[in-house]
Structure 1
Amino acid sequence: MQKLKGLRVAVLAADGFEQVELTIPVKKLKREGADVSIVSLHKGKIRGMNLLYPGRKVTVDATLQEVKAADYDAVLIPGGFVNPDFLRQSALAQDFVRDADILNLPMAIICHGPWVLVSAGLVEGRKLTSWPGIKDDVKNAGAEWVDEPVIRDRNWVSSRGPHDMLAFLNGMVELFAEKMPEVAIRVPPQVEAPRKRWPKLLAGGLASAALGIGARRLAALR
């Protein structure tokens, strides 16, 4: 059974995203039935990285100029050295994650991804983890940094990096699945039109009309 069928997930990413931190979670989300969109700073494609080496490109589905947080049910922010640094410098990206948090959208953040939340002014008083190299940035912004594979804090789930991927995937799906009752309300089950009834109704109507015409003709003959 697909746990996230119909869930609209925005993957907030830019050039320089860590390859596996985007591709593996996206595959998992799609397998669970989620509708996944890559949301970025520009149209076209963005380049992934395998640590310091160029990786594959992925196609951008929408830009931050075209969409808003309310268009989605959940957010995924992959890491990488460059990707979150580009995003944190974008006022649109900061507004997107602020609005997502105001809407209480579930957010899954991994590796350097918390940089975006730091620059958006969201981490004060929150509990999360990240790549150890940005621990001081997270703590200096007022968050409680924890050295664990996965940390859940209200509508956020965070992990340290690719070595925590399995725990991150499980935590992400668990968190996002809690949104599903709202999705079920938003997307009611489709009710098929009673197509088979129309021929019967039509046939019945024609038969009645024919009988009426026949009765009038008989009366005239009499």
Structure 2
Amino acid sequence: MTDTLSGKRVAFLATDGYEDSELTSPWQAVTDAGATAVLVSPASGSIEGKNGHEQPVDLASDAADAADFDALVLPGGVVNADHLRMDEASVAFAKAFFAQHKPVGAICHAAWTLIEGDVVRGRTLTSYPSLTTDLRNAGATWVDEEVVVDEGFVTSRTPDDLPAFNAKLIEEFAEGKHAKQTA
């Protein structure tokens, strides 16, 4: 355990149907680095991943304020991302991190929520390959790489990329705000 992220609060934005490892692995990484992780969701009580992991919800999306956090992680999962992109409060919450120049990590299908928030235009990122056309149509440059960092915006493709994703999350979150991380 290190204290690289000591004193930092990291929001995780997810709902039912998230990819279990894409929530649990980054959660463990940031808490092991000393951060406090907080689950934000449009659901109440707890949420369930596609493989059965349950995670208690700490804060409702419509009550969450990006100003109260240092960074954001968006786990993937088709159902999770599809539901989040249809929830105005969740999209606004995610978009606010970009407006406040705070680091954001998104893996797999999570980029759908960010497309909805119109924060990928002009950015270079990766995702699950089926989002390639969606991202390009939204103005992003999509690349097929294990992990991509673009001014505090960390993206990866699948659970296979979690070791690299987690390492870059810790690095970017420790650096803090990035002037070119914008909405």
Larger Rg belongs to:
1
CA-based RMSD of the aligned residues comes to: 1.1
Whole-Å Cα distance in 1 between the matches of residues 87 and 134 of structure 2? 18
**Corresponding residue for residue 61 of structure 1:** 58
**Corresponding residue for residue 121 of structure 2:** 124
Structure 1 residue runs without a partner (length 5+): 181-222
Whole-Å Cα distance in 2 between the matches of residues 166 and 97 of structure 1? 23
| Percent identical | 42
**Corresponding residue for residue 15 of structure 1:** 16
Specify which of 37, 57, 73 is matched with residue 76 of structure 1: 73
Whole-Å Cα distance in 1 between the matches of residues 64 and 53 of structure 2? 25
Task: Name the amino acid aligned to 2:85.
Answer: R
Aligned pairs for 1:25-174 within 5 A:
25-50=26-51, 55-174=52-171
Whole-Å Cα distance in 2 between the matches of residues 80 and 68 of structure 1? 24
SS in 1 for 2:63: coil
Task: Name the amino acid aligned to 2:28.
Answer: K
Task: Name the amino acid aligned to 2:83.
Answer: F
Task: Name the amino acid aligned to 2:80.
Answer: N
Q: How many residues align?
A: 176
Whole-Å Cα distance in 2 between the matches of residues 62 and 152 of structure 1? 28
SS in 1 for 2:113: helix
SS in 1 for 2:109: coil
Whole-Å Cα distance in 2 between the matches of residues 16 and 77 of structure 1? 13
Give the C-alpha shift of residue 42 in structure 1: 2.2
Whole-Å Cα distance in 2 between the matches of residues 21 and 87 of structure 1? 15
Give the C-alpha shift of residue 97 in structure 1: 1.4
**Does structure 1 conserve the Cα–Cα contact (< 8 Å) formed by 2:62 and 2:90?**
no
Runs of 4+ in 1 over 3 A off after TM superposition: none
Give the C-alpha shift of residue 117 in structure 1: 0.5
Higher RCO structure (Cα 8 Å, ≥6 apart): 2
SS in 1 for 2:7: coil
TM-score by length of 2: 0.93
Give the C-alpha shift of residue 141 in structure 1: 0.7
